[in-house]
Amino acid sequence: MDEIHRELKERSRILSIFNERREDFTTKEEWDNYLEMVEDLIFNIVNKIDVPAMEAKISEYQRSNRVKIISNQARLAEEQKKATQETFGDPTPVEEAGASGLTFKPASFLAAQPAPISAPALDKEGRLPTPRVSSGSQWEAMATASGWDPRLPRGRSIQEALSSVLIF
């Protein structure tokens, strides 16, 4: 399990640096070569193959493409913000400002939470009161709803009887 977490961590780290998209390349072949290079880097680092050379390659790419990496991260953040606003709606500022300067109303899609049910009254000894049931069919309906089956007592009796019989 640790290997999976390590691979996911490395993959996330490397993909945050190598964050170019298909539209950043002029041909499909360039895009495929870029993807292959990224996957080779991930594979080599995860499997501990020539790690210093791979890390040097990552840092060199990061140094030479710093502006492009930052702009791609900003573009991704804007797209995520836009998708969130389309999905959940834009938060509307309210009149009172909080510590950050603005506070927001909950989005309209969030419904109010139901009020919790009050605790039942207990009897003098601190136990739940016995339900008032007038007929046997009501008791059977309650028992059936809680998982009881009328065949249970008979089956249990037969099981106990047969398990106590000695066979010589």
Do residues 72 and 23 make contact, with C-beta atoms less than 8 angstroms apart?
no
Do residues 45 and 9 make contact, with C-beta atoms less than 8 angstroms apart?
no
- For the chain, which residues make up each domain, given as ranges? 2-88
Per residue of the chain (168 residues), give pLDDT as tens: 688 888 899 999 999 999 998 988 999 999 999 999 999 999 999 999 999 999 999 999 999 988 888 888 888 888 888 888 877 765 554 444 555 555 555 555 556 667 777 777 788 888 877 777 777 788 788 888 888 887 888 888 888 888 776 665
Which is nearest to 20 in space by CA: 59, 58, 57, 73? 73
Instruction: Enumerate the H helices of 48-151 as residue ranges.
Output: 51-64, 66-88, 136-145
Q: What is the per-residue pLDDT for 136?
A: 78
Q: What is the per-residue pLDDT for 14?
A: 92
The amino acid occupying position 161 is A
Do residues 41 and 57 make contact, with C-beta atoms less than 8 angstroms apart?
yes
Q: CA-to-CA distance for 125 and 127, rounded, in angstroms?
A: 6
Q: What is the per-residue pLDDT for 95?
A: 46
